[in-house]
Structure 1
Amino acid sequence: MSEFAFPSVETNESHLNPGMLLRDYFAAQAMAALIMEPPWMEGGVATVHALSGGFESTDDPCDRFAFAAYKMADAMLRRSAALANTERKT
């Protein structure tokens, strides 16, 4: 089930606006970090390249950043779910 980042409630004056998907919010935050990283790191591999294993090349270099951002967002959602399951057990 998809969670929403900023859900709002329905009122008499407006229609329900479920907000942005949490996955999209996490990807946007990851994208901001990825594009600010210098193109080099110690060891010579930028995070965007390290995260883009499995990426199928396209003509648009921005696609690599989007792929890496969503990969990071998916990892954040998995970790969040795992922590929630652990908390329920304690």
Structure 2
Amino acid sequence: MATRQSVENCIQQCEDALRFATQEYRDASRQEHDSTFDDLHFSTAQMELENAVNTIVILNNSANQQQREQLHRMRLQVQQMQNRLILLNHDR
């Protein structure tokens, strides 16, 4: 069974990744096609989101029903941001 602390740590990791990705999304949206856009930070944001999803998947296997519900909601948020970054990146 997943511990309460491990779920809290996972949620915190996801929230941190979401904050970073949101900032990068805003920056990239403002930059549009500007060559000064920092692709490294953008890629890092995508990688952090992917790591967060992977952590959720692993933790979900040992979570109780309430934890799984909490992790599922967080996964949806993370995947929504991943999709936004992908669509923004393809627009460039």
Bigger CA radius of gyration:
1
Q: Going by fraction, where is helix more abundant, 1 or 2?
A: 2
Higher RCO (Cα < 8 Å, 6 or more apart): 2
Q: With the length of structure 2 as denominator, give the TM-score of the two structures.
A: 0.34
